[in-house]
């Protein structure tokens, strides 16, 4: 019991260009234990309140429909994904 909690979800990021119908195009595929769970996009358009932050463009599975604030760093985003998948 509880053994599974000790096994951290392995989150891997892979760079990918994303069409967001805007100038934000630098993206990361987020894979958790080998499965695609999200796509992050870097906010590059100056109009964004948090330019430079990473935005959860798409969430899949348990991340579907969730709207977290943009993340300052990819590490923050990865931590959030891990926590969210654990619950």
Partner 1 sequence: MQDALIRKLENFETFTAADRAALRAFAPRTRQVGARTDLIREGDTPENVHLILDGYACRYKILPDGQRQIMAFFVPGDFCDLNVFILDQMDHNIGTISPCQVVGIPRQAIDELMAQYPLVTRALLWCALVDEAVLREWLVNIGSRQADQRIAHLFCELLLRLETVGRVTENSYAFPFTQTDIADTMGLSDVQISRTLRELRRLELITLKHRVLTILDVEQLKAYCGFNPNYLHLRNTRWSGRRQVPWLSDVQEG
Q: What are the C-alpha distances in Å from 85 to residues 25, 26, 80?
A: 26, 24, 9
In Å, what is the CA distance from 76 to each residue of 17, 25, 54, 63? Answer: 21, 20, 9, 15
Q: 55 or 80: whose CB is closer to partner 1?
A: 55
- Least distance from partner 1 to the Cβ atom of residue 47, Å: 5
What span, in angstroms and rounded, lies between the C-alpha atoms of 24 and 86? 29
- What x-and-dash track marks residues 20-59 binding partner 1 by CB under 8 A? xxx-x------------------x-x-xxx-----x----
- Count of positions on this chain that bind partner 1 (CB under 8 A): 12
Distance CA 31, CA 25 (A): 19
Q: Residue 36 or 45: which CB sits closer to partner 1?
A: 45
The one segment of 5-13, 16-24, 28-36, 76-84 that binds partner 1 by CB under 8 A: 16-24
């Amino acid at each position: 019991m509880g053994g599974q909690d000790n096994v951290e979800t392995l989150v891997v990021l892979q760079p990918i260009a994303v069409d967001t119908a805007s100038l934000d195009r630098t993206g990361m595929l987020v894979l958790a234990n080998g499965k695609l769970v999200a796509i992050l996009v870097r906010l590059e358009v100056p109009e964004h309140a948090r330019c430079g932050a990473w935005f959860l463009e798409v969430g899949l599975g348990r991340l579907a429909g969730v709207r977290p604030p943009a993340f300052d760093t990819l590490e923050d985003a990865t931590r959030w994904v891990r926590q969210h998948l654990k619950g």
